[in-house]
Amino acid sequence: MSDAESIHARSRSRAVLPIESAGAGLVRHRVEVDPREVVFVKSIVEASEGLASIFAEHGGSLTIATTPSREPALLELLSDLERHCGARLLARGET
């Protein structure tokens, strides 16, 4: 088996990491936005380097995870997004 074939075989056998595992030790917020706003919200969160990680689940359902120390800044951003594009904070997850 060539190196390329070996790498391809390994990549196919990897499972997607569940959000619960990926978010261990982080504060997770479930947020709902209009599906047309997902790309905009993702770009804002990702442009705020180091603030949070964002996971698009389906439609306008998002999970945004951050460290406990960055949560106040994330809540401020979510408040701004609520005013500007109607984002709704549905639930706050535990660390």
**CATH classification (class only), 18-92:** alpha beta
Domains of the chain, residue spans: 18-92
| CA within 13 Å, CB half, 94 | 0
What pLDDT digit, counting tens, does each position of 8-65 carry?
Answer: 555 555 666 666 666 678 999 999 999 999 999 999 999 998 899 999 888 999 999 9
Task: Tell me how far apart the alpha carbons of residues 72 and 28 are, in angstroms, rounded to a whole number.
Answer: 13
CA angle 12, 18, 56 (to 5 degrees): 95
**pTM greater than 0.95:** no
Higher pLDDT, 15 or 7: 15
